[in-house]
Every structure is written in C-alpha cells, then in structure tokens.
C-alpha cells in the first residue's frame, strides 16, 4: 500500500544574489517538494512581508531539474569544450590538494585566486570558505570592488568618506519629489521594502520621475514620468541641472558653504587655484563653454526644456530624493555619473534632511550581519575584481596604477620594489557558485582565449549545480548542492531588518556536496584540517557564528527558535537620516573625509597620477564607446544591459517556465528597426569587434532611438562559428576598466545590427 505522509512545511529563504532574501515555504511530502509558497501580511505580523517573486516560487523547478550536475568530473577535452570524465570524490580531492600545493610552491601563494561568485549569497559560501583555507596556507591574491557597485561605491567614498549615505526607506514618504536615476526596482529586486515605499509614495501623490534610456517596468508600475537619456551621458545632464539650479537662485549656498569643499572658488582646498572649482567649470570660465541645458541636450538627447524643468522641480522640491540605481555607474565613466548625483544632492541641500537623500551608494544598515571568520591573509595583496583576467595575463606587471592594493595585514607582494606590484600572475582559480569565469565577465571571446591557454592559468576548479559556460572551463568540476539540500543563514541587502534561516528541505541529490565538506578534506590532505574546521561541522559553524552575533544584536532569539521560525524580523528599527548630525553641526561632527567636508573637489585625485585621466570634480567626460565616439560610424547603436525579472543574473535561464516572463530579445526602437528592415520577432545579427550574436528583436518605443538593450545573464551558447545564440550580452562587452574604480563598464557598448537571415544568405 502506498504510504502517503502528511505534508510538512519547511521554512527557508532565497540565497542567490538578487537583492531579496524572500521567505520560501516548501511543502514537502515523502521527501519531495510538492510546491512552494511564501510570506503574507498575516505571516509577517505587521512587518512588510518578504514575498517571493515568480523566480522564488519556481526555485524547485530550476534547482531540482534533470540537468543538475551529478558527480565530480575532470576535464577530458579543451577548456570550454564541455567534455568531462566522471571521477570519484577521492580523486577530485587528491587532485585539488596536489595542484593547490604544487602551484603554491612553484609560483608563491599569491598566484592563487578565488573568483567573484554570488550563487550562494549566504553566511556559509564556498568562496569565503576557500579564502579561509588559503589564508591558513600562506595566502592568496584577494580582490576588492564588485561587479555590482564598483564605481558608485568608490565615488561615494571619495566624496562622503563612507557608503552609509541612505536614509531608512520609510523616510521616502517625507519627500516632495522622487527621482529614480537609472533605477528599476520593480524589476531589479533590491529588497522587499523598496517598491512597497515607492508605491506608498505614489499613493501619497509624491511625483516620481525615472531617468533611463528604457521605459523600464518601474515607470509602468508607478505610472511615473519617464525621461529617456542616451546611455553614459547622464553626468552632462547633471551638469546642466546644476547650471540651471545656480542660475535660478535655487542653490543652497548656506549648505555648500558650510559642508562642501570645492563647489565654488571660496571653498577650495588650501593651495589649489579657485579656477579648478566645479562652479567655474559650470560657467565655462576656462573652456568658454557654459554647461547650459542646450549644451547638454546635444550630448544626452534630453530636451533643454526637460532638463530645465527637472532642475527647477528638484531645486524647489526640498526635500527631494534623487535615488541612484547601479545601472548608470556600470558604464565606461560610471564614477562621474555617481559623483554627479551626489553633487546635485549637495547643491540643493538635500543631504542630512528628512525627505531628502544624500544620493550615492545609499547604504543604510540598521543591524549588523554575521560573517564567516577570516584569518589574516599573509599575502595581503588585492586587485580590483574586474581585472582578474588582466592578472592571469600580466599579473606580475600590474601596479598601483592598475589598482593593486596592499591591505596592510600581510607581508606579501613585491614590497621592496616600488610601485606596489604583484609577485605572480594568477595560476589557480577557484570558482565556487559563480558564473563570472565566462558568462558574467566581459568580452567572452577574449576571456575564453585567455582561459584556454593552460600555460597561463594552470588549474581551475568550479563547483556549480549546472553545466554553465563557466563550468565548461573547469579542470575539476564539482557538483554543488542547491539551497534545498543544506542549511544556511541568509542576510538581507542594505535595507532589510531581518535575518533568514534556510532549513534543509531534502537530502542532497546524486553525489552532490556542499563546498565546506570537500574543502575540509582538502584541508586534511594539506595538513590544515583542524585549523580550517576548528572541529566544527557546517551546522555547528552556523550556530557558533549566530551566537557570536547575538552578543552584539541582543534582540536575536535563541538559535533553535530562530531556526524553527526560519526568519527573525528585528523589532527595534530606529529611523535613520544619513548625515543629520553633520548637517546640523559640521564643526562638531565632521564628514568622514580627510577634509571633514563633502569633497566635491577631490584633492586626493588632483594630487596623484589619477589626475592625468580622471577629473578632480564630478564633471561630464565623454566616454569611450559613447554616442559621440568616432567608432559610432562603424557601430552606430549604443547597447546597454539590464537585470531582468526572469533571472537572477544567469540563474533560471535554463528554466523554461521563467522564459515566458521576458523572452530573450534585443530591444530596438521602431526607427532603428525600420531602417534595417526588422520587424518584431525577426532574428538579427548583432556584432562589434569583440563578438557576434543572433537574437530576435523586440521592436518597441520603450527604448530611445539610437539605443538597443539586451538583458544581462542569458547563457552563452555559441554555434560552431562562435556566434552566440543564447543572447549573452558579454559576447559584446569590453574589458576596458573604468578610470578610477577600475570597475566593469558592461553597459557601455557600441554595436551594429542587421537582419540575420539576409546576412546568412550573403555569407
């Protein structure tokens, strides 16, 4: 007789890197997930519910699919070919341990690198665990920055000296105007509060304006005003808005006088000529070009009238919130756009004010998050994460000018030599729960060429749950467990006031293992077993770290209670207004910069080599591969990416159910499509000097003419000629880092588009 168990509900939360960590309730019977449901108002008991999106409610269909990796494998063809041979876990661990020490001894500990990887964005994650073991074993080459926020964080640090520049979200309801600058939270989940408060603001009648080359989902959902703008030109519009604000007498001079450095002549750092100030640039005192709305119209494609109107509206709104997404800073001159937003907030005196918004990175962490304990990395050197391919090719030549940093804790690098440089190229990569080895990094064809050369990077380990583009480049490929197959603690992005617990829902599938378990065996093999694990299982680590956090976050319940509830929502969440103290008493509470003021003019930039290629003020710089680049004659269309509702980066691309939400298509304006004889749904060839792809077009006036858009994250699927058929934008993106942050410019690209089938005939 068939024995039907009662349905059990097991509580967990999302743990990929979308901004949410939503509550997932797994309905399980006989060890099988029957369905997933989520948080409701009733569950949330007065807090904003952490309600899962369509991706979350389909997690089981993605993560438990037939295409899961099942057992460890070793490479049996060229890197990238995807040919593998099954091996045992013993062989996998043996090979990793012996390559790990061989490479350490041959090239030094700093030849080992752990790639950026966010597939497991939870407390216990393969990449931090691997870093711990490498530190115990002499060290590794570390990185700083992320693919998410390299420019905006460095720009915010440069001007404010901190990234904690956000107010708590409920304060948006006190604004008289909200500008979402390249921000699309209806689609790019930041957390569950963001859209909740934006909808409330809308209901309250607060005008909402969205500046974006695309009429994004947020414009539609909030019925907001849409201002289309040419990609990567935003800082020209910001300059012109500043010009209007000054000319119209809307400049909060009292605020800039008291709190800012470098806005006008009278407030420059000691010894620097007044003509270097931002106002002098705006008025065109040196170059004879006043940065008027007419000037900006030619660059941005936004009409002078619209620029004037938004400037006056923002200048008068006080308090008004100019909120930046990360899209505009994932560009060739992304730092300047982020700095421009901050400059406008300062100019209008919206900093440190309820209903205002200091702009920039806008972190607002009301609670501390747990983190895995990391010993000192004895090598102590870091590169900007985006330059890892550069460090594979010419690490030993990279210096401070490439962004190489010493974190001061270790002895490593070639410290005798100045300038600072690396001791070795990257020779070993651990890529654990990430797709940045290929799919999510730029210029796939070049990256692939670099990785195929086994004399450069000699050993690559990947742990993933699917045969992704990155996995195909592994020498040893390990099958990881999904979120349902092991427990973990999840932490929110900056605005969430909770901590999540992911209970184990089912037993691990096939031979899949969590990264900690095989890393313990590698540690054992290299004689560091005890130091690495400290005798703890992964479950014991979670409890240990949680209890340590509890000594600081006193409100947290007993571990068992937390685990059973699957979530803890903090009750004590004091309202935060960033820089409130600094604004009201700047002498007593200086800003955390060197000068104690908000640095609109950066002496740090002005007095270093950066000065040769990066301005000391937040002014517009014509970006390479922007609309004004000479290359536009050959490749006349700008191409941007965005984060789609259908995926979390590359995750869910293999889930057919998700495809319907947003089929992979190239957005094109009817004018550009018409000129090329393309109708909605036609297949087009998209190309530039870096790569080619074939993809259907979506003809829509939701995008500005001259601009195309393709959502990032689709799986790279090259045909036999190397033309991508999956719609993976990184076939077309570039490896040129941004000038100051050395960040990823993945939204700045020039391309040409033609009808594919006609071209096929020609070839």
Ligand X SMILES: Nc1nc2c(c(=O)[nH]1)N[C@H]1C(S)=C(S)[C@@H](COP(=O)(O)OP(=O)(O)OC[C@H]3O[C@@H](n4cnc5c(=O)[nH]c(N)nc54)[C@H](O)[C@@H]3O)O[C@H]1N2
Q: Which residues here bind ligand X, judged by CB under 6 A?
A: 16-19, 117-120, 147-148, 181-184, 187-189, 211-214, 216, 229, 231-232, 234, 325-328, 330-331, 433-436, 440, 463-466, 468, 480, 482-483, 640-643, 645, 647-651, 712-713, 729-730, 733, 746-747
- For β-strands 381-384 and 405-406, DSSP reports them as antiparallel
Q: Which is nearer to ligand SF4, 478 or 567 (CB)?
A: 567
Coil, helix or strand for 208?
strand
Q: Which is nearer to Mo ion, 148 or 655 (CB)?
A: 148
Number of H helices, E strands in the chain: 25, 27
* Binding status of residue 22 toward ligand SF4 by CB under 6 A: yes
Q: How many residues bind ligand SF4 (CB under 6 A)?
A: 11
- Residue 62 site contact among Mo ion, ligand X, ligand SF4, none (CB < 5 to 8 Å, cut-off depends on kind): none
C-alpha angle 124-125-130 in degrees, rounded to nearest 5:
110
Interface segment toward ligand SF4; rule CB under 6 A; list 19-27, 432-440, 626-634, 690-698: 19-27
Q: Measured between alpha carbons, how far is residue 657 from residues 188, 467, 646, 717 in Å? A: 19, 19, 9, 19
User: Is the Cα torsion angle 78, 83, 88, 89 positive or negative in sign?
Assistant: positive
Residue 553 · residue 568 · CB < 8 Å:
no
* Binding status of residue 502 toward ligand SF4 by CB under 6 A: no
Question: Contacting ligand SF4 (CB under 6 A), which of 25, 26, 33, 53?
Answer: 53
Residue 670: CB atoms within 10 A of its CB come to 15
Residue closest to Mo ion, measured at CB: 148
Whether omega before 319 lies within 30 degrees of 0, making that bond cis, reads: yes
In 3D space, the residue among 184, 220, 176, 197 whose CA is nearest the CA of residue 321 turns out to be 176
- Per-residue binder mask for Mo ion (CB under 5 A), 107-146, x = binder: ----------------------------------------
* Binding status of residue 52 toward ligand SF4 by CB under 6 A: yes
Question: Contacting ligand SF4 (CB under 6 A), which of 11, 12, 20, 367?
Answer: 20
Considering only residues 380 to 399 of the shown chain, the ones binding ligand SF4 according to CB under 6 A are none
* Binding status of residue 189 toward ligand SF4 by CB under 6 A: yes
Q: Which is nearer to ligand X, 132 or 331 (CB)?
A: 331
How far apart are alpha carbons 21 and 43 in whole angstroms? 15
In 3D space, the residue among 232, 264, 249 whose CA is nearest the CA of residue 340 turns out to be 232
Q: Which residues of 280-316 are buried (b: 16+ CB within 10 A; e: fewer)?
A: bbbbeeeeeebbbbebbbebbbbebebbbbbbebbbe
Interface segment toward Mo ion; rule CB under 5 A; list 147-155, 168-176, 498-506, 527-535: 147-155
- Shortest CB 659 distance to ligand SF4, Å: 16
- Residue 231 site contact among ligand SF4, ligand X, Mo ion, none (CB < 5 to 8 Å, cut-off depends on kind): ligand X
- Shortest CB 511 distance to Mo ion, Å: 31
* Binding status of residue 55 toward ligand SF4 by CB under 6 A: yes
- Shortest CB 11 distance to ligand SF4, Å: 14
* Binding status of residue 148 toward Mo ion by CB under 5 A: yes
Q: How many CA atoms lie within 13 A of 724 on its CB side?
A: 25
* Binding status of residue 14 toward ligand SF4 by CB under 6 A: yes
* Binding status of residue 56 toward ligand SF4 by CB under 6 A: yes
Residue 642 · residue 188 · CB < 8 Å:
yes
Coil, helix or strand for 451?
helix
- Shortest CB 651 distance to ligand SF4, Å: 8
Interface segment toward ligand SF4; rule CB under 6 A; list 20-28, 296-304, 391-399, 735-743: 20-28
Through-space distance between the first and last CA atoms of the chain, rounded to whole angstroms: 64
How far apart are alpha carbons 330 and 325 in whole angstroms? 10
Interface contacts to ligand SF4, rule CB under 6 A: 14, 18, 20-22, 52-53, 55-56, 189, 648
């Amino acid at each position: 007789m068939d024995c039907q168990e009662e349905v059990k509900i097991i509580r967990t939360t999302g743990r990929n890197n979308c901004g949410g960590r939503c509550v997932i309730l797994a309905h399980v019977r006989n060890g099988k997930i029957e369905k997933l449901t989520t948080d409701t108002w009733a569950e949330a008991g007065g807090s904003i519910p952490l309600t899962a999106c369509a991706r979350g409610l389909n997690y089981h269909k993605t993560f438990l699919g037939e295409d899961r990796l099942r057992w460890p494998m070793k490479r049996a063809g060229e890197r990238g070919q995807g040919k593998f041979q099954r091996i045992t876990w013993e062989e996998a661990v043996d090979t990793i341990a012996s390559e790990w020490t061989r490479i350490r001894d041959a090239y030094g500990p700093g030849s080992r690198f752990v790639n950026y990887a966010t597939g497991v964005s939870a407390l216990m994650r393969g990449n931090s665990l691997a870093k711990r073991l490498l530190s115990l074993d002499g060290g590794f080459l570390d990185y700083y920055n992320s693919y998410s926020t390299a420019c905006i964080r460095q720009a915010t640090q440069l001007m404010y000296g901190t990234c904690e520049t956000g107010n708590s979200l409920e304060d948006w309801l006190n604004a008289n105007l909200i500008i979402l600058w390249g921000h699309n939270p209806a689609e790019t989940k930041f957390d569950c509060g963001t859209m909740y408060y934006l909808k409330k603001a809308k209901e309250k009648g607060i005008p909402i304006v969205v500046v974006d080359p695309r009429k994004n989902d947020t414009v539609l959902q909030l019925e907001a005003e849409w201002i289309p703008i040419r990609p990567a030109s935003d800082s020209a519009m910001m300059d012109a808005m500043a010009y209007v604000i000054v000319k119209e007498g809307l400049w909060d001079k009292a605020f800039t006088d008291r709190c800012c450095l470098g806005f006008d002549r009278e407030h420059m750092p000691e010894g620097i000529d007044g003509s270097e100030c931002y106002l002098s640039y705006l008025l065109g005192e040196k170059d004879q070009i006043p940065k008027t709305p007419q000037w900006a119209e030619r660059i941005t494609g936004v009409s002078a009238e619209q620029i004037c109107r938004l400037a006056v509206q923002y200048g008068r709104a006080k308090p008004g919130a100019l909120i930046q997404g990360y899209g505009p800073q994932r560009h060739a001159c992304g730092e300047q756009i982020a700095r421009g937003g901050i400059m406008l907030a300062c100019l209008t005196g919206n900093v440190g004010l309820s209903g205002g918004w200091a702009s920039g990175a806008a972190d607002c962490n009301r609670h501390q998050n747990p983190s895995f304990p990391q010993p000192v990395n004895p090598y102590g050197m870091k590169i900007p994460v985006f330059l890892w391919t550069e460090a594979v090719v010419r690490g030993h030549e990279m210096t401070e000018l490439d962004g190489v940093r010493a974190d001061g804790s270790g002895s490593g690098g070639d410290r005798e030599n100045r300038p600072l440089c690396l001791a070795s190229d990257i020779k070993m990569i651990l890529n654990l729960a990430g797709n940045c080895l290929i799919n999510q990094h730029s210029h796939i064809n070049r990256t692939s060429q670099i990785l195929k050369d086994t004399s450069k990077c000699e050993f690559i380990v990947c742990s993933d749950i699917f045969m992704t583009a990155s996995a195909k480049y592994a020498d040893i490929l390990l099958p990881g467990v999904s979120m349902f197959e092991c427990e973990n603690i999840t932490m929110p992005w900056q605005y969430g006031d909770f901590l999540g617990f992911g209970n184990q829902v089912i037993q691990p599938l096939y031979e899949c293992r969590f990264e900690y378990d095989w890393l313990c065996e590698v540690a054992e093999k290299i004689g560091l077993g005890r130091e690495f694990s400290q005798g703890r299982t992964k479950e014991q680590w979670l409890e240990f770290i949680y209890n340590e956090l509890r000594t600081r976050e006193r409100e947290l319940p007993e571990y068992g209670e937390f685990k059973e509830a699957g979530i803890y929502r903090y009750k004590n969440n004091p309202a935060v207004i960033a820089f409130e103290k600094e604004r009201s008493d700047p002498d007593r509470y200086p800003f955390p910069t060197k000068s104690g003021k908000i640095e609109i003019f950066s002496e740090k930039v002005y007095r270093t080599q950066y000065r040769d290629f990066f301005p000391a003020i937040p002014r517009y710089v014509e970006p390479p591969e922007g609309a004004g680049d000479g290359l536009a004659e050959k490749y006349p269309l700008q191409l941007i990416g965005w984060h789609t509702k259908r995926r979390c980066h590359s995750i869910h691309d293999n889930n057919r159910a998700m495809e319907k939400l947003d089929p992979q298509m190239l957005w094109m304006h009817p004018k550009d499509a018409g000129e090329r004889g393309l109708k909605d749904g036609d297949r087009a060839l998209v190309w530039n000097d870096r790569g080619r792809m074939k993809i259907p077009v979506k003809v829509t006036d939701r995008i500005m003419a001259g601009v195309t858009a393709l959502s990032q994250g689709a799986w790279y699927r090259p045909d036999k000629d190397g033309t991508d058929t999956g719609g993976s934008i990184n076939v077309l993106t570039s490896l040129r880092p941004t000038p100051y942050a050395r960040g990823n410019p993945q939204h700045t690209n020039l391309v040409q588009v033609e009808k594919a089938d006609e071209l096929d005939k020609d070839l």
